[in-house]
Amino acid sequence: MRIEEVAARRLGAKFAQRSEDRILPGLFGEHPATEPLESLSDVGLLDTTLRDGEQAPGVSLSPAEKAHIARELDAAGIDVIEAGSAVTGPGERETIRRVTDLDLDATVTSFARNVESDVDLALETGVDGVHLVVPASDRHIEDKIGTTREDVIADTAALVEYATDHDLWVEVIGEDGSRADLDFLEELMAEALDAGADRVCYADTVGHATPDRTLDAVSRLADLGPTSTHTHDDLGLAVTNALVSLAAGADLVHGTINGIGERAGNVALEEVAIALDHGYGVETMDLTRVHDLAQLIANKTGIPLAPNKAVVGENAFTHESGIHTDGTLKDDAMYEPYPPEKVGRERRLALGKHAGRAGVNAALAEHDIDVSDDELDAVFERVKDLGERDKRVTDADLLAIAEDVQDRERERRIELVDLNTVAGSGTPTASIRLLVDGVERTEASVGDGPVDAAMNAVEAALGHDVDWSLDSYHVDAITGQTDAVVTVEVEMSRGDRSVTVARSDADITRASVEAMVEAIDRLVETESGPLVADD
């Protein structure tokens, strides 16, 4: 059966008609008129986390936070960083200046509307370039702006000339391009390039487009000159449409870390990057940095990562099923498309009702616990029993079960004796009493919140000598009432050891501190010598 016939049957006649000119390699096979994605030698990434990502409800990044994020994006090899929108106000312009002052390798840009004053404000911040966002669909031209197609074309050409005369790198974005009349979009972008724009951008502003529409639009623009793509995920097609855009001739992908943004968000750059690397051998950024970037963005924006989020979600390299765990222990690639180390992750074996005997044994071995066959059977049954009661079995649970099965008495080195916190309208403070190697130690501290203050007090009580890292922190309410009991689960590490602990309490601060103190105690229980130097 011919490629065109397969395309018609699967995606409709319109796609089949376009497939005579361009076809997605690897989906229906290679087509002589289109080079495969593997042949792309220079795909760039544009990060708009600091502008489009910040438009997600409830997100507001400080100048220091934006500068920090920009440094990390640059270190990861992102080509273009949209630092903000200079027209927003003096505070935003100062924030953009903080980024431009970093002297990054990346091109730093500002969003600008199709008016000269926006370009002037961007120039004040010292950016390398601007993204001129001009209306492309009749809905935006007539209903939003109240103008005509002819005026949009004339105004765009004039503004491009103005911006390039001021030595700015210029990209013209046709807003709502996926719903535009494609003949007009093509004419608009051709005029922009003729006026001196460095590139044009196809924008699926409301996540409206299907892959065939994207293929049609981007292939037209790519025939004119350098083309970018800006996709949103309202139909769950952001990554697909980004890859289709590249197959159609685009060479720069706009997106955000973690896919944050308005409504369903922008395309997630880390997903585009791993898809290109794993599927087509195309390198775009330092993938080993994406997990740290994801955690940074999640922490700074307050938008947590979904556990099943591709690439950076907690469960992406976590295995609980006995069959999967056994297979993974025999062959790392058995149930993973690429190794976790590629994206700065580590593989985890979770324990629950689906756990298998091999997985439990491997988890015990990770904590240097040797068990006999009979002891393993007993531990395995206890783990399964906990899992059947809808309980996730943490490392602390597993270790406690093993101690009980082996009739071992555990000697705690760090124990919480008392905790008091104050978190009214003033500075949050906490005082804590710990028993450390049998010696009571009392400290008080302040913090950004009661939990932070309490952990600062714990660190002070330990003399700042126990170097530990809080890798993850999750809070879940067990009930939905005002007197809800919450469960706090933490993952902490020290050196190459890590441990997960969960604690429940009506007081979130106490549950947090108990979980973290327990985790620290587990991490240091095999250490020799005193934990705290003599005063």
- Tell me the two tokens of residue 254: 């706009």
The two structure tokens encoding residue 235: 């139909």
Q: Is 14 helix (H, G, I), strand (E, B) or coil?
A: helix
96 C-beta neighbours (distance < 10 Å), count: 31
Partners of 505 in beta bridges? 486
Structure-token pair, residue 50 = 């600091």
Residue-wise pLDDT for 216-240, tens only, equals 999 999 999 999 999 999 999 999 9
Mean pLDDT score, 74-85: 97
41-301 and 414-524 in the same fold: no
Angle at 373 between CA 369 and CA 376, to 5 degrees: 55
pLDDT at 479: 57
In tens, the pLDDT along 495-511 reads: 777 888 888 888 889 98
Pairwise pLDDT comparison (535 vs 421), residue with the higher score: 421
Return the SS3 of 62: coil
Question: What CATH number should be reported for the domain whose range is 414-524?
Answer: 3.30.160.270
Checking if the pLDDT of 268 tops 70, the result is yes
Percent of the chain topping pLDDT 70: 84
Q: 109 or 468: whose pLDDT is higher?
A: 109
pLDDT, tens digit, for every residue of 455-467?
899 888 887 666 7
Per-residue model confidence (pLDDT) at position 360: 81
Q: Compute, in degrees rounded to 10, the torsion defined by CA atoms 99, 102, 104, 109.
A: 20
Per-residue confidence (pLDDT) for residue 356, from 0 to 100: 76
* Res. 58: pLDDT tops 60: yes
User: How open is the CA angle 107-108-111, to the nearest 5 degrees?
Assistant: 125
Among 44-48, 164-168, 300-304, 322-326, where is mean pLDDT lowest? Answer: 322-326
**Cβ–Cβ under 8 Å, residues 416 and 519:** no
Distance of alpha carbon 262 from alpha carbon 242, whole angstroms: 17
Of the candidates 513, 514, 500, which has an alpha carbon nearest to the alpha carbon of residue 399?
Answer: 500
Kind plus residue range of the DSSP H or E element containing 513: helix 508-524
Measured at the CA of 257, the angle between CA 80 and CA 35, to 5 degrees, comes to 65
Partnered with residue 81 across adjacent β-strands are 47, 108
Q: What type of residue sits at position 62? A: S
Q: What is the DSSP letter of 342?
A: G
Boundaries of every domain in the chain: 41-301, 318-405, 414-524
- Distance (Å, rounded) from C-alpha 434 to C-alpha 413? 10
Mean pLDDT of 436-443: 90
Report pTM.
0.75
Question: Which CATH fold topology does 41-301 show?
Answer: TIM Barrel (3.20.20)
Q: Which residue has the higher pLDDT, 352 or 106?
A: 106
For position 224, what pLDDT does the model report? 97
